[in-house]
A and B are shown apart, each in its own frame.
Chain A
Amino acid sequence: MTNHTLRITAENQPTVMEKLLQVTRYRGFIVTGMTMFPESDSSLLTIELSVQSDNSIEHLQYQLNKLIDITAIKLDSDAASLCRT
């Protein structure tokens, strides 16, 4: 199992977190940590999502990138994972 951290910018819509977590689970990733906060004007969310899987993180990025309310995804390969395990 490999740990990864994604930095995600998303529109602040009611369903965006639900859909993000749904796709993450469905594509075979375990969420090991997450922080989320609105940007200053509240129209955008910044989400830091730490996940664990044997699956390709690039493919999770491709799937998440298709979500209408997600505007940017960056794989933070240098960041310390939020996972404490």
Chain B
Amino acid sequence: MTSKQFKSGAALLFKVLQQHDVKDVFGYPGGAIMPIYDALYDSDVKHFLCRHEQGAAFSAIGYARASGKVGVCLATSGPGATNLITGLADAMSDSIPVVAITGQVATKSMGSDAFQEVDIIGLSLACTKHSFQVRDVNDLAGILTQAFAIALEGRQGPVLVDIPKDIQLAQVEQALSLVNQKNKTDAQEPANVGSALALLNQAKKPMLYVGGGVGMAGAVTQLREFINITGMPSVATLKGLGAVNSDDDCYLGMLGMHGRKAANLAVQECDLLIAVGARFDDRVTGKLAEFAPHAKVIHFDIDQAEIGKRRGVDVAVMGDLKVNLPALAIPLAITEWQEHCQQLGKEFANDYTYLGKGIYAPAVLNEISNTLKANNQAEHTVITTDVGQHQMWTAQHMDFTDPSNFLTSGGQGAMGFGLPAAIGAQISRPQDTVIAVCGDGSFMMNVQELGTIKRYQLPVKIVLVDNSKLGMVRQWQQLFFDERYSETDLSDNPDFVALAQAFNIKAKIITEKEQVSEAIEEMLSHQGPYLLQMKIDAFDNVWPLVPPDTANDKMIESIK
């Protein structure tokens, strides 16, 4: 590649993006990124104009998670760049490969408190794997190549590349090499397969604790094969949902604060816990000192820093799950334990009996899940959520065929994730169905992205679970703050149907359970975007719930 091919840094940027197979980017223009948007005008890279930079970041995340590719977002300097920060933090917590490109004021103005200048490098260091600032246009291609490599290698995550305006405009002078990589693989101990096998052979009650790392490693097939060979019972984290075949008799679903009772009880009983791409998050463990108290621990991971971070391990198996899981897949004689776990699963199966008169959200979500399965649509459907009660109900009551079919903000719990993530997922998988399950509080946090749906006529379906509350906070106020409902009432929400219709999105509100089945059918069969608002009782709660700093077997299952 030589300077003859490119005129400016901005033009070079899109050439390098194409070399990394980037077909779609999400962004929002502004002063300090105008040369890049000018070059975009002549580029084959397709740009999706979001209506807020946070929407662009979440859409890039949704795109990455649904497709396994790197998500790319663009923003201008100053407020444009700071608006990306929540998305970068989400991508960092949930290990999502994203490259964020920000415009910056010209190098001669940097450090002068110039208009729309912010130290985005300083701000982003805490929520990216790495941040680059390009100071010489001849470094641009090499830096971008490094950014993609860093985003994807080892434990995946976000990388920011800040490009001053004069660098975007500068002429590329030198012959360029794209191979200037500074890859850094995580320092790792050798895989302790022998020690792990010894523990596995001794175990009478082994339990597989499946995290988001399985999907990120592309190791769903190897995990399912491991389960088939060992017959081991399993539970999953929020981000691990979809990795285990939900029809497996010994799969007990999600564990943790809002986990299934069967999952939490079985983990508390197990004598060997095998964590696979999971990090003993506080929402999973409850009171850490009393989590799986009888268990030895084998921990499979790609990130050495996760080993022993919260829970000591007996054997760490570092490296690629696609290699390490098959190495430990041996048949186990654990019939009694399997039967016990199956019994727990049956005894504490989800119950959809509802004493209220109106719509019961868990039952609706389960019906959507069952309808997708009955229509053979489940494999080709992506579900996204916002954050709160509806998120936990979705995790508890819907089944997923793959982790890339369930996108939710796990580590950060970022409200407003669902709608823009659904947009990104729909763009990456245009033939598939994408359903955003939103709460009425979260939905309003990025409601402007309805404009993106309208602009590109994306057939995203929105299930708006509307209790006119900030439901999860309201639930905690009821349980732990003496029913002092501080600032959680949203009864003055807008008319959501009218709001959707203002964006040319077909919309319907339902209030009675008799309306549910027909409404689901109508939504799923509609060709374009659709918003289904369902009013639910403001005081429906998510059960079970493990109170803060409490062992997972001490779940609350109702208001006393």
The residues of A that contact B150 with a CB separation of less than 8 Å are 68
> Which of A18, A62, A63, A69 is within 8 Å of B122, CB to CB?
A18
B171-213 vs A, Cβ < 8 Å mask (1 yes, 0 no): 0000000000010101100000000000000000000000000
- The docked-state distance in angstroms from the alpha carbon of A56 to that of B126 is 21
Is B308 within 8 A of A59, CB to CB? Answer: yes
Which A residues are CB-close (under 8 A) to B133?
14-15
Is the beta-carbon distance between B309 and A59 smaller than 8 angstroms?
yes
B125 touches A22 (CB 8 A): yes
A66 contacts B305, CB within 8 Å?
yes
Our pick among B129, B130, B155, B187 for the contact of A65 (Cβ within 8 Å) is B187
Q: B405 contacts the other chain (Cβ, under 8 Å)?
A: no
Chain B residues near A62: list those with CB within 8 A. 187, 304-305, 307
Q: What's the minimum C-beta distance from A4 to chain B, rounded to whole angstroms?
A: 17
Q: Are A66 and B125 in contact (CB under 8 A)?
A: no
Structural contact, B182 and A19, CB atoms closer than 8 A: no
Contact status of A68 and B182, CB under 8 A, knowing A14-B133, A59-B308, A63-B305: yes
Q: Chain B residues with Cβ under 8 A from A65's Cβ?
A: 186-187, 304-305
B470 to chain A, nearest CB (A): 29
Contact (A66, B126) CB under 8 Å given A15-B131, A59-B308: no
Which residues from chain B contact A15 at a C-beta distance below 8 Å? 121, 125, 131, 133
Give 1 or 0 for each of A7-28: 1 = CB within 8 Å of chain B CB. Answer: 0000100110011001000100
> CB-defined interface of A54-83 with B at 8 Å, one 1/0 digit per residue?
001011001101111100000000000000
Specify the chain B residue showing the minimal Cβ separation from A13: B132
For residue B225, CB closer than 8 A to chain A, the reply is: no
Indicate which residue in A58, A63, A68 contacts B129 across the interface (CB closer than 8 Å).
Answer: A68
Q: Does B303 contact A (CB under 8 A)?
A: yes
Residues of B near A14 (CB, < 8 A) are 121, 133
B134 to chain A, nearest CB (A): 12
- The answer for the CA separation of A67 and B186 in the assembled complex, in Å, is 9
CB-based contact B308/A22 at 8 Å: no
Nearest-neighbour CB distance to chain B for A80, whole angstroms, equals 27
Closest CB of chain A to B139's CB: distance in Å?
12
Cα–Cα, bound, A68→B381 (Å): 37
Contact B125 A18 (CB under 8 A): yes
Bound-state CA distance A33–B309 (Å) is 25
Partner of A26, one of B126, B131, B305: B126
- Chain A residue numbers with a CB within 8 Å of B155 are 66
Whole-angstrom distance from the CB of A9 to the nearest CB of chain B? 13
Evaluate contact between A66 and B303: CB separation under 8 angstroms. Answer: yes
B411 to chain A, nearest CB (A): 15
Q: How far is the CB of A60 from chain B (nearest CB, A)?
A: 9
Interface mask (B346-373 → A, CB under 8 Å = 1, otherwise 0):
0000000000000000000000000000
Which chain A residues have a beta carbon within 8 Å of chain B's beta carbons? 11, 14-15, 18-19, 22, 26, 56, 58-59, 62-63, 65-69
New A-B contacts (4) at CB < 8 Å, excluding given A14-B121, A22-B125, A63-B305: A19-B125, A62-B307, A66-B303, A68-B182
What are 10 A-B interface contacts by the 8 Å CB criterion?
Answer: A11-B182, A59-B308, A59-B309, A62-B187, A65-B187, A65-B305, A66-B154, A68-B129, A68-B182, A69-B130
